[in-house]
Amino acid sequence: MKPQNNFDDQIRKMIIDSADHFGRESENSKERIWQHVQLKKEKRVALLWFRALAAACLLLLLVTSILVVSKVKNDNRLKTLVIANSSLEDQIYTMQQEVSTKPEVAIVSKASVPDTIYVEKTITVAQPSIKTEFITDTVYVDRTIYVEKENTQEMIAVNDPPSTVDTITQIMEANDHEKQIIIRNNSNQKQAKIRKLKIKLGGNKPVSKRADLALKTEL
């Protein structure tokens, strides 16, 4: 903003035109001002370093104090433990001394103390056991069946008395060197004869084809 007054304008113009009015003073002060500016700059850098150093020192102090406090705490705890340990060792030593010097008293005192002891035992009880085993087996029996000729068979059947039981042993000399065992079921034979050997005497009626026996009877 420019001065609005003529008076101010005149003075302003005069002062601006006389810029070298303080020339001598300014020249005297120039070097000193520059040196101080440079010094302040260096001081500022030094101040920055000093602040950083101070911060580092504070940090170091803090860490050191924390370590010292923790060390003191640990030392106190260690001392307490050592004292307790020595006290326990003394107690143990005293007890050992008492035990070694007075064994009888210790035994008596042991005997006089009632106590309940629970003993766990395992009792095995033997019991008889009956065991039935079923064994299934297959037995093979060799059986030789001889079938005699028809004539001989019927002759034996007629001569033998009728029987309901099986005729087991009939030894015949069929050949010179063989023995024959004939097993026959007489009941079946009897029934067959009842049905098939019907012979009628005195007639022309045909007789049984099988009835070629010498004695003809009617059963």
* CA neighbor of 215 nearest in space, from 150, 170, 155: 155
Interface with another protein includes 15 (CB under 8 A)?
yes
Interface with another protein includes 185 (CB under 8 A)?
no
CB of 5 to another protein, least distance (A): 7
The dihedral formed by the CA atoms of 42, 45, 51 and 57, expressed in degrees to the nearest 10: -90
d(CA 145, CA 180): 9
Interface with another protein includes 51 (CB under 8 A)?
no
Q: Which stretch binds another protein (CB under 8 A): 30-38, 54-62, 71-79, 115-123?
A: 30-38
Structure tokens at 74: 């640990």
Range list of H helices, the chain: 6-17, 23-101, 103-112, 150-159, 186-196
d(CA 187, CA 198): 17
Interface with another protein includes 89 (CB under 8 A)?
no
Residue 195 makes CB contacts below 8 A (sequence gap 6+) with: none
d(CA 219, CA 216): 9
Interface with another protein includes 1 (CB under 8 A)?
yes
List the x/- string, 61-80, binding to another protein by CB under 8 A: --------------------
CB of 62 to another protein, least distance (A): 31
d(CA 55, CA 124): 85
Among 5, 64, 70, 96, the residue binding another protein under the rule CB under 8 A is 5
Q: Which stretch binds another protein (CB under 8 A): 2-10, 68-76, 82-90, 135-143?
A: 2-10
Among 30, 51, 73, 102, the residue binding another protein under the rule CB under 8 A is 30
Total residues interacting with another protein, rule: CB under 8 A:
33
Chain residues that interact with another protein, rule: CB under 8 A: 1-3, 5-8, 10-12, 14-23, 25-26, 28-30, 32-34, 36-37, 40-41, 44
